[in-house]
Amino acid sequence: MMTRRLQLGFIASVLFWVSAQPPLAAQQIVIRGGQIFDAVRDRTVANSGIVVQSGKFPEVDARLEGRDLREVEIVELSDDDYVIPGLFDLHAHYAMDLFGEGRVDEREGYPTLFLANGVTSTFPGGEVDPEEMRDLRMRIDRGEAIGPRIFNSGPYFGSWRVGWNPDTSTQQIFSEVDHWVEQGVRAFKAKGITAEHLRALIERAHLHGATVTGHLGSGFRGSVNPRDAILMGIDRVEHFLGGDAMVPTRPAYQSLVELDPGAEEFDSIAALFI
């Protein structure tokens, strides 16, 4: 039973060793002792040493014998300390309504809470304040703020965005995508979007090598059924299952509560997702 966990994010990779290990430099940190959870082999192994430098892990399971550690900061773990791979939250909403005045992206407490729960990378999946979220990402990247890596999504595309114009043209969507790609966005989120606008968003995002995900509907009142979005080329779907299991005569939420996983309609849309 783990009594406590030291949660660190590291990239699981194959380390190619050479016979002569490089000397450890000042300002490096070595974490030794405790256990490492190996997510590839699904087991824990004794930690011989993890080398940390500039926020990265050049060595995991490092061979420290015979190496000069006098200028290196050492973190000693006990046997019941565990190092686990950092988690990636792909649906990490920062937006919340604290005072009944509308949602804003919470940029002070949330970043720390993500880290405290082992989440070291986040995709916000639609940002209420995209400029402020971009600034947060940059401050975290520069070491000026504490928080997980942020893979900005830019603003919502669709009626979920405050001030969204339902008459937005295809060219305007193209221009917006171009702008946010220049700001570092590599994935976009649609919510409350029409088929015409989603098609334009997917086309332009893919032109830049970016992806699109969506909170979609059943086809009711101009919403987009995930089946149609998949055929358009959408990369991910956050909600809902879609297909004929979600009839276009009512909202998707109403169909969801009556969904039968054994129905033919369920099998059909599940196969399309796969």
Q: Report how far residue 83's alpha carbon sits from residue 31's, in angstroms, rounded to the nearest whole number.
A: 10
The first and second tokens of residue 62, run together, are 């490092």
Section 205-234 average pLDDT: 97
| Domains of the chain, start order | 6-85 (2.30.40), 155-273 (3.40.50)
pLDDT at 72 > cutoff 60? yes
Q: How confident is the model at residue 9 (pLDDT cuts 50, 70, 90)?
A: very low
Q: Which residue has the higher pLDDT, 3 or 109?
A: 109
pLDDT (tens digit, 9 = 90+) per residue, 45-57? 999 999 999 878 8
Section 77-102 average pLDDT: 92
Angle CA 7–84–212, to nearest 5: 90
Give the pLDDT score at 22.
54
Section 186-195 average pLDDT: 97
For strand 50-53 and strand 56-60, is the pairing parallel, antiparallel, or unpaired? antiparallel
Main-chain dihedrals φ then ψ at residue 76, nearest 5 degrees: -95, 125
pLDDT at 237 > cutoff 70? yes
Q: Which residue has the higher pLDDT, 271 or 23?
A: 271
Contact 60, 10 (CB under 8 A): yes
First CA to last CA distance, the chain:
36
Q: Lowest-pLDDT range, 62-66, 77-81, 170-174?
A: 62-66
Write the CB contacts of 261 (distance below 8 Å, at least 6 apart in sequence). Answer: none
Q: How confident is the model at residue 70 (pLDDT cuts 50, 70, 90)?
A: confident
How far from the centroid of its chain's Cα atoms is residue 116's Cα?
16
Give the pLDDT score at 2.
44
Distances (CA, A) of 210 to 68, 125, 154, 189, 205: 45, 14, 12, 11, 5
Section 27-31 average pLDDT: 90
Closest by alpha carbon to 185, among 215, 207, 155, 147? 155
Percent of the chain scoring above 90 in pLDDT: 72
Q: Lowest-pLDDT range, 19-28, 96-105, 184-193, 207-216?
A: 19-28
Q: How confident is the model at residue 100 (pLDDT cuts 50, 70, 90)?
A: confident
Q: Report how far residue 32's alpha carbon sits from residue 145's, in angstroms, rounded to the nearest whole number.
A: 26
pLDDT at 185 > cutoff 70? yes
Closest by alpha carbon to 114, among 125, 126, 123? 123
Q: Lowest-pLDDT range, 16-25, 181-190, 258-267?
A: 16-25
